[in-house]
Amino acid sequence: MADLEFRRAIRDALDEELARDERVVFFGEDVAKPGGVFAVTPGLFDAHGEERVFDTPISELAITGAAFGAAVSGLRPVIEIMFGDFLPLAMDGLVNQAAKYWYLSNEQASVPLVVRSAVGAGGRFGAIHSQSPVPWFQAVPGLRIVAPSTPVDAKALLKGAIRDDNPVLFFEHKRLYSIKEPLPDDPIEAATLGEARVVREGGDLTVVTAMRGVHDALAAAEQLSADGIELEVIDLRTLRPLDLPTVLASVRKTNRLLALEEGPLTGGWAGELVARVSEEALGELDDVWRLTTKDLPIPYSPPLEDAFLPGTDAIVANVRGRLVAA
């Protein structure tokens, strides 16, 4: 059976949606003729032509603002903001225009717009090409944030994002681009946004995470299982809105919650999740905490970056420490 690579899943989703719906267009810096700096979008320009798939100037204000204007005028643009770190330059169009239009227009029109962006650390790209932009956008009403962890999900969720009638930030973790999984027999259909998934069942602790963290948590779960500690691992898949029911159901079973986020401790989605669960299920919680990075920029040097990120070893050590102490 053939394998599906994460980057290929993204490409295929774009390709199929471009083919399916004339209104879909795709543009960004170096995405068309060159096929993207992460080699994610080769061939789309050839397949769909320059009117539908094109390279832009280095102009994040224009790219995002134009995508917004196009989206409210009948197109369904997908844009790439190469690195999530550049999203501040695209933020005005998203926060002040796209996210508010549906509401402010009194529901005259929605803004079907997807922003793809490569995010995350661990690739030695340094402090300004490795960030997680989730916290910058998680408090923006009207925006959705999607963060897949597997190739199949990447394809299904990107199709879902393109068909969603709201502005969607679609984050692709750089350390996932090269992962593969077997291609399913059935075609991969568009997924509905906003639904988390329990990817491992366990009774001792609920670990909620996303993107790369899912893989790290699953690996940690295997190690901890040998110690008799069984993690329930939840892949959020969508970070805004959070699928609270799925998390609460699990926490009501395990009575313990660890929110695992690749990003600074302060102000991330993990904090929001901990707050929600504490508000909703205070009496059922025996323990609740976060494992994140420190409140510092992301270092370049390999030993510094490795120590900085909450990878498998850090999760194992952290859970052991917490559950043995408890």
Partner 1 sequence: MARATTNAAAAPAPAQELSGPAQHGLELYRRMLVIRRFEETVQSLFQKGEVHGTTHLYIGEEAGAVGVGDVLKAQDRAAGTYRGHGHALGLGVDPQALLDEMLGRASGVCGGRAGSMNVIDLAHRLIGCFGIIGGSISAATGAALALRREDGVAVAFFGEGTTNHGYFHECLNFAAVRKLPVLYMCENNLYGEFTPWEDVTAGEIEARPRTLGIHTETIDGNDVWAVREAAGAAVERARAGEGPQFIQSMTYRFVGHSRSDPGAYRKPGELDRWKQRDPLLVARTKLTGELGVPPSGVDEVDAAVEAQIDAMIEAALAAPYPDPSLPVREFAPQAEHAP
Give the active site residues: 60, 129
Candidates 99, 55, 7, 152; CA nearest to 160 is: 152
Nearest residue to 115 via CA among 96, 97, 91: 91
Contact flags string 117-146 toward a second copy, x per CB under 8 A: ----------xx------xxxxxxxx----
Which residue has 């933020």 as its token pair? 91
Size of the site for a second copy (CB under 8 A): 49
Q: Taken in order 62, 114, 267, 125, is the CA torsion positive or negative?
A: negative
- For position 103 contacting a second copy by CB under 8 A, the verdict is yes
Which positions from 282 through 311 interact with a second copy, judged by CB under 8 A? 282, 285, 287-290, 294-297
Binding site partner of 135, from a second copy, ligand TPP, partner 1, none, Cβ cut-off 5-8 A by kind: a second copy
Residue among 38 and 101 whose Cβ is closer to a second copy = 101
**Stretch of residues binding ligand TPP (CB under 6 A), selected from 14-22, 81-89, 131-139, 217-225:** 81-89
State which amino acid sits at residue 237.
R
Minimum distance from residue 29 beta carbon to ligand TPP (Å): 5
Query: Which residues 264-293 are close enough to bind ligand TPP by CB under 6 A?
Result: none
**How many Cβ atoms from other residues are within 10 Å of residue 270's Cβ?**
27
Cis amide prior to 241 (ω within 30 degrees): yes
Contact 284, 247 (CB under 8 A): no
In terms of CB distance, is 28 or 202 closer to ligand TPP? 28
**Member of 78, 82, 208, 323 binding ligand TPP (CB under 6 A):** 82
Buried b (16+ CB within 10 A) or exposed e, 164-177: bebbbbbbbbbbbb
The rounded distance, in Å, linking the Cα atoms of 154 and 290 is 25
Residue from 19, 39, 47, 58 binding ligand TPP (CB under 6 A): 58
The answer to whether residue 86 forms part of the interface with ligand TPP (CB under 6 A) is yes
Binding region for ligand TPP (CB under 6 A) = 29, 58, 60, 82, 86, 89
